[in-house]
Amino acid sequence: MDCKEFAKFRKNLNKTQKEMAQLLGVSIKAIHSYEQGWRTVPPHVERQMFFLTARKRSNNNNKQKPCWRIKKCPPKQKKECPAWEFQAGKFCWFINGTICCGTAQEKWKEKMALCRSCEVLASLTETEPG
């Protein structure tokens, strides 16, 4: 997550920098640094930003299908996937070890590279109109 994306997500959550710092459990200086590009957004903060944004969006979009339906996962793959095990089909991107494209995704950075191009995450985090 880069500095512009971080700031966009914070604004979409309608939070001040101070409120975001409290919500994420980091200092206000950290928020300033993320938004100025002085510090890289750590994976745990990125994950929380996606989660909060997705929860806000999910509350307004209960019609979204689970990932295994969207991706048409074969039954064997679906049963081995943690997203299926925990019935987290709208939050598959949040769980490491999901089996996307036939391979378990274990490292956050590699997982997010794949998830960012997936319609499951995109449908939850896209900017709302207006």
CB-CB contact of 97 with 106 (8 Å): yes
Q: How many CA atoms lie within 13 A of 35 on its CB side?
A: 16
Q: What is the CA radius of gyration of the chain?
A: 15
Tell me which of 4 and 63 has the higher pLDDT.
4
Residue 110: per-residue pLDDT: 83
Report, as an integer, the average pLDDT of 42-61.
82
Higher pLDDT, 109 or 31: 31
Per mean pLDDT, which range of 19-23, 29-33, 46-50, 88-92 is the poorest? 88-92
Region 2-28: mean pLDDT is 94
How high is the pLDDT of residue 129?
41
Return the higher-pLDDT residue of 31 and 119: 31
Question: Residue 125 pLDDT > 70, yes or no?
Answer: no
Q: What is the mean pLDDT of residues 35-53?
A: 92
Q: According to the per-residue pLDDT averaged within each range, which of 28-42, 50-64, 104-118 is highest?
A: 28-42
